Structure 1
Amino acid sequence: MNWIKAIMAKLVQSVGQSGLLRYLAGNRRLKYGVPVLLAFGALGIWLYRTGSIGPAKVVAAKAEIGTLKPTVFGIGTVQAKMTYNVGPVQTGKILKLYVDQGDSVKAGQVIGEIDPVDMDQRIASYYAALVSSQHDTAVAQAQIEQAKSQNQLAQAEIERYTQLFEQGAISKESLDTQENNAKVAQAVVDSALSNYQSTQSKMVKAEADYQGQIEQKKNLLLISPVDGVVTARNMEEGSTAVAGQAVYNIIDLRTLWVQTRIDQTQFNGIALGQTAEIVLRSNQSQRLAGKIVRLESQGDTVTEERLVDVKITNTPNNVFLGDLADVTISLPDAVNALYVPANAVKSENGRDGVWVIRDGRAYYRTVKTGVKTMDGNVQILNGLEQGDTVIVYSRSKITDGTRVRMVSEL
């Protein structure tokens, strides 16, 4: 480029601009050769600037020291750790259902009933038997009191008759008759006590039978075990539900988490208790806070991912099971870390490295990388020094010793 400018300047200086034009017009070869020469010169300039000839154009950056705030990104689905299946403990026809999908429920709330059939009549019968046994027990108690009173009187008579006999006022037969009456009175007391125990046992059994029927009727009630939300109503009124069949599915909103898939190559450094930011695909304007509460021990050999369960700590009301969510996990800060743009790191033969520029040429250098950040930086643990210049982008193939020219953009 410079030599073309020099020739043109020399010609203009020698013959002047007007003379040069007359000279070119009179010289057929120069008339057509100079434009061609200028065209080739322009083409050469364009090829040089685009990097087709000359040094390869590259965008470069320097290795710097600073504090990195690394994060790991993953995609997951909203799930509930605690899910409850509510159904009858015995087979029966559904009589009433009081809530539907999406309704909020409280612990202990009756949300449905199974048809009791003739259970109310049976409860009434058992109650009547209980009342009868209670009456019989009360009568037996009264009989005991009466028998004890008569026995006390008989015992007192024995003492009086004994004194009279010792004084010779009565015969031995009269004393024997009174002693026999006392024994009969004691036997009546013993019989009354035995009868009371029998009636009391019957009363206890009748009460147990009655309470058993009450509890059995309670078993026909469908009751929410927790404060939560109904996620499914699987049956309708009039349907027959067998024992153990789920009529409702209820989740505890306090146990919502996002089962997040993390690439195995990014799993290093993730630990329990780390915080995360959760963005639901259904509401991308809202940022939810999260915390890692479980690290799955088994990875997916097909997708090469591992599951991380991130609990939603500020659960909103509009979260639905199965919602997709973007999860960004915050790792500990890397202080005084040497870092370069992540795009500068290339993999050659399975090993990470960077192209370092020295004296206008590129040389490949193997490095060991650390944490990465969402803004596109990666920590360099060894292989580089602060201030080293590395290639970030290049449209040309780079090999060891390739001449390069740094530009601000490609």
Structure 2
Amino acid sequence: MNTPKPRALILIALGLLMLGGFIFLMLRSGPLAPVRVTTATVVSAVLENSVFGVGVVEAERSYAIGPTIASRVQRVLVDVGDSVKAGQLLAEMDPVDLDERVAASQAAIARARHAVDVARAQLRDAEVRQDLAARNARRYASLGEQAFFSDAAVESKQQESQSALAVSSAARAQLEAARLDLERLGAERAAVEKLRANVRLHAPVAGVVTARDAEPGTTLVAGQSVLRMVDPTSVRIRTRIDQGRAGAIRNGQEALVVLRSRPGTPVPGKVARIEFNSDAVTEERIVQVGFDHLPGDFSLGELAEVTIATTRSEGVLAVPNAALHRQGDASGVWRVEDGTIRFVPVQLGETALDGRVVVLAGLREGERIVVHSERELRAEDSIKVVESLDGKQR
């Protein structure tokens, strides 16, 4: 009987060892190995849903303050960042000849008043003459009927009465013309005084100066601004919200605003207005969010992150969004059952910003579901629950 040679025995042993190692690798990390997964327990929780958007700090009421006529800046009394009161003098323009024009209009009005007095006196004289002429005409007419005066004398007195009446009418018209001229000069003086007042630029409301566009000595055209200011009570964040999530937003809902200049300090606010116009290109809706208390160091045009609290649901079942999968037309989760898994279709509700999704039907409280897996799962797969996919076992 032939005995195996030592070399053959060594080769057989090495082959068996390699076969065993291969089988071990197949069962440990190969296709036959259990799939490592992380799991979560379905629990009843309070879900505070919210929407997120990025906005820009703007002011609804801003004011450009400048002259109404071409003029030169004489002095500017405030600077950027100053808080001003309503009616406060902010700047003054060079009046040029406006003071002289005001004085000239006042003199013209005084002269027109004298003209009115003269016309009034002339009217009184004409009315007295008319009354006398009328009485004489009536007396001559009465005596003419008694043949004391000739017809020519009577007609002469009647002509004098008519002439006096015409003079009285002319004096009355002259008085009215003098009054109208006085009104015209008064309107012209008011216009000049308004022009003179407009060279003194006052704050229309209480606010904050945001820009100083001109310095003393600068010549400006009508409508060009010297200063710009905003009403702090009208500061809003013009926020863009995805149209798919904007349906739950209502006026008055609470919001948290994080300014780019203050990343670690959320500022409370509320939804002030939901715009009717949306952006069809970006598929976003515009929402105006106001501050509860305006920060002292805000800046217009600054970007801000806005989170709006929309709904609060208590006692709902929620699962992580990462646990959801789709098979065919059904959305569902992989439920853990005694070391195996089964795909369970579920009916979903709203999604929160923290990644949780409300489950309306398909799961019960206390069941365990797969959240993450190292590869795509199949119904026949066996699983191995770990704390994380880096290999630590639970």
The alignment's TM-score, normalised by the length of structure 1, stands at 0.75
Residue matched to 1:238? 217
Query: Distance in 2 between the 1:263 and 1:346 partners?
Result: 24
CA contact (8 A) 1:83 1:252 kept: yes
2:269 to 258, 270, 289: 289
Residue matched to 1:31? none
CA contact (8 A) 1:59 1:406 kept: yes
- Tell me if 1:122 matches 2:101: yes
Number of corresponding residues: 365
Query: Distance in 2 between the 1:184 and 1:300 partners?
Result: 85
Query: Distance in 2 between the 1:292 and 1:51 partners?
Result: 59
CA contact (8 A) 2:254 2:268 kept: no
Q: After the TM superposition, which residues 75-94 of structure 1 pair with which residues of structure 2 at under 5 Å, given as runs?
A: 75-94=54-73
Indicate the SS of the match to 1:196: helix
Name the CA shift for 1:203/1:279 in 2 (closer, same or farther; >3 Å).
same
Query: Distance in 2 between the 1:348 and 1:236 partners?
Result: 70
What percent identity do the matched residue pairs reach? 34
- Tell me if 1:309 matches 2:305: no
1:11-38: per-residue Cα shift (whole Å, max 9, x none)?
xxxxxxxxxxxxxxxxxxxxxxxxxxxx
Name the CA shift for 1:76/1:173 in 2 (closer, same or farther; >3 Å).
closer
How far 1:278 moved relative to its partner?
2.1
How far 1:240 moved relative to its partner?
1.6
Name the CA shift for 1:292/1:393 in 2 (closer, same or farther; >3 Å).
farther
Indicate the SS of the match to 1:293: strand
How far 1:91 moved relative to its partner?
2.2
- Tell me if 1:228 matches 2:207: yes
CA contact (8 A) 1:85 1:249 kept: yes
Name the CA shift for 1:51/1:79 in 2 (closer, same or farther; >3 Å).
farther
Unaligned runs of 5+ in 2: 1-19
1:144-185: per-residue Cα shift (whole Å, max 9, x none)?
112112222222233344444555655656545543433332
Residue matched to 2:171? 192
Residue matched to 2:11? none
How far 1:132 moved relative to its partner?
1.1
Name the CA shift for 1:193/1:261 in 2 (closer, same or farther; >3 Å).
closer
Residue matched to 1:20? none
1:216-259: per-residue Cα shift (whole Å, max 9, x none)?
33343434333322211111111122222232222222222112
Query: Distance in 1 between the 2:154 and 2:242 partners?
Result: 107
Residue matched to 1:101? 80
- Tell me if 1:389 matches 2:368: yes
1:279 to 229, 234, 258: 258
CA contact (8 A) 1:78 1:321 kept: yes
How far 1:138 moved relative to its partner?
1.5
Residue matched to 1:326? 305
CA contact (8 A) 1:276 1:292 kept: no
How far 1:398 moved relative to its partner?
4.1
Residue matched to 2:237? 258
Name the CA shift for 1:85/1:350 in 2 (closer, same or farther; >3 Å).
farther
CA contact (8 A) 1:51 1:57 kept: no
Q: After the TM superposition, which residues 6-405 of structure 1 pair with which residues of structure 2 at under 5 Å, given as runs?
A: 55-166=34-145, 175-263=154-242, 266-267=245-246, 269-283=248-262, 284-285=264-265, 287-295=267-275, 296-301=277-282, 306-346=285-325, 353-365=332-344, 367=346, 369-374=348-353, 376-394=355-373, 398-405=377-384
Query: Distance in 2 between the 1:250 and 1:220 partners?
Result: 18
Query: Distance in 2 between the 1:196 and 1:333 partners?
Result: 80
Segment of structure 1 superposing worse, 130-139 or 260-269: 260-269
Query: Distance in 2 between the 1:340 and 1:64 partners?
Result: 8
Cα RMSD over matched residues?
A: 3.6
Unaligned runs of 5+ in 1: 1-39
Indicate the SS of the match to 1:288: strand
Query: Distance in 1 between the 2:185 and 2:198 partners?
Result: 20
Query: Distance in 2 between the 1:240 and 1:72 partners?
Result: 50
Name the CA shift for 1:166/1:290 in 2 (closer, same or farther; >3 Å).
same
CA contact (8 A) 2:35 2:375 kept: yes
How far 1:330 moved relative to its partner?
0.8
Indicate the SS of the match to 2:248: coil
Query: Distance in 2 between the 1:115 and 1:109 partners?
Result: 18
Residue matched to 2:8? none
The alignment's TM-score, normalised by the length of structure 2, stands at 0.78
